Amino acid sequence: MRRHSEMTFGCVSKDYGNRSSLQPHTQLAIQSGGSVLSRLPSSTSTVVKSPIYMLRGFSTPIPFARLNMTTITSLKRISAKDLSQRILAERDSAEPTYAIIDVRDDDYLGGHIRGGIHAASEQLDALMPTLLRRLEGKRTVVFHCALSQQRGPSAALRYLRERTATSSSGESSQQEVLVLDRGFEGWRQVYGEDERLTEGYRKDLWGDH
């Protein structure tokens, strides 16, 4: 007999049957990701050692111990100045240790950070497997959109969680995922006309000339 239970959100537990028959405190433990073992009725004989949860939007079951608890507000940020220094320091490198992911959509027109990868937010779901493969081995990955307030941070968080789900714990922890502070808008105000750092810049499209 199996000695642990593998449960998924919105599904039926393999060991407990229909979740609707569980005691309220047991259902709460499952739904909240808490310790099921400590909250099971005393008459339950099944031992729960390592429950596995299926997170909504992810195709890979993730052991609870490996859940990435990063949130949009806790994502680390990098300033335009620090990123520019990183780019210039590795400008002659055939394989930079960093990657820049620009998730702007139609507003991508008018310039972009040199060497960046365009992965429009509207296509991110389809592009995610490719990004995971392409960014493997990079020490730092920087995401941004126009202002880095919504699309950029959301994409960074999605990538971080997908990477956690598909990588070993060691591989996942070795890569730093950052968000460019103030996005491309902040970047182009300082470095838009610096061809070492920005490609395809069209100042006339930005309405501040």
- Which one is catalytic: 7, 30, 135, 145? 145
CA dist 146 and 149 (Å) reads 8
Clarify whether 145 is annotated catalytic: yes
**Which three-class secondary structure string do you get for the chain?**
CCCCCCCCCCCCECCCECHHHCCHHHHHHHHHCCCHHHHCCCCCCCCCCCCEECCCCCCCCEEHHHCCCCCHHHCEEECHHHHHHHHHHCCCCCCCCEEEEECCCHHHCCCEECCCEECCHHHHHHHHHHHHHHCCCCCEEEEECCCCCCHHHHHHHHHHHHHHHHCCHHHHHHCEEEEECCHHHHHHHHHCCCCCCEECCCHHHCCCC
DSSP for 141-159?
Answer: EEEE-SSSSSHHHHHHHHH
CA dist 153 and 191 (Å) reads 22
Catalytic annotation, residues: 145
